[in-house]
Amino acid sequence: MLDTIVISTLESDVKMPNLIMSILIAITLTILILAVFPVSGGHISPVITFSSALVGLISISRAIIYIVAQCVGAILGALALKAVLSSPIEQRFSLGGCTVTVITTGPNGPDIVGLEIAQAFWLEFLCTFALLFGSLWMAYDHRQSKALGLITVMSIVGLLAGILVFISTTVTAKKGYAGAGMNPARCFGAAIVRGGHLWHGHWLFWVGPGLACFAFYFYTKIIPPNHFQTDGYKHDFLAIIKALFRSEIV
């Protein structure tokens, strides 16, 4: 669905398509998270799932199941998108996949345009951390989620995601770079179906968000406990590691 928004907005004749796209993504994300919340708790991305597992909201085994399901869903979504798109649009937008560089035809032959791997990696890391730091922690914190309410928290998540999409596709983007993915499963689905250049640098769309989740988790451990309340979470990452070491010693 998000890929469809990206393609249709950029193909339209509206002014500032990136802004319109970001607004639509913010609204759509909010609706999607609210729609799946009763079923899975709003797990529409490996970023949400992995960070939830680290803070102890869900178990690692459940997180693995969710992430596999998200990847399968992304593949099915990419196949559905491929079935309805015309070949020129599919080729131009790479099924809405996550790209770092593309090869274009220049005056002197093939030309590679886009971002350096290091730049794209840091954008992925920073945007994902900003999403976690600026919004998702409210969903994980008992006090904040109860005080603000589900709709408000999910709306903030969607709004911040839209802002980050706008920043990464406007301020920092170059031709050939599709912007921060912040959803490894979506990148994976398009890469499986479309292949080719979508595999170039694909690892950073997993490693960047993954490290951002770890950074966010350790951030929650160094701030005062009254700033982030997760009492009762049974699957905290460090607690599990400590328990494993204790069992080995015994």
Q: What CATH number should be reported for the domain holding residue 162?
A: 1.20.1080.10
Q: So what's the pLDDT on residue 226?
A: 67
Judge contact between 204 and 121, C-beta under 8 A.
Answer: yes
Number of structural domains in the chain:
1
Taking the chain (250 residues) in runs of 10, the rounded mean pLDDT of each run is 64 72 86 86 90 87 93 92 77 70 58 74 92 84 80 89 84 65 90 86 93 92 71 66 62
Residues 246, 161: contact at Cβ < 8 Å?
Answer: no
Would residue 79 count as lying in a domain?
yes
- Read off the pTM: 0.82
Domain that holds residue 193: 2-223
The residues, ordered by sequence, that sit 6+ positions from 63 with a Cβ below 8 Å of its Cβ are 49, 50, 52, 53
Structure confidence at residue 207 (pLDDT): 95
Residue pair 129/220 in contact by the 8 Å Cβ criterion: no
Residue 233 lies in a domain: no
Instruction: Quote the CA–CA distance of 157 and 127 in Å, as a whole number.
Output: 13
Q: Does residue 45 belong to any structural domain of this protein?
A: yes
Taking phi over 0 as left and psi of -120 to 50 as alpha, with beta for the rest, 96 belongs to left
Extract the tokens encoding 50.
């992995």
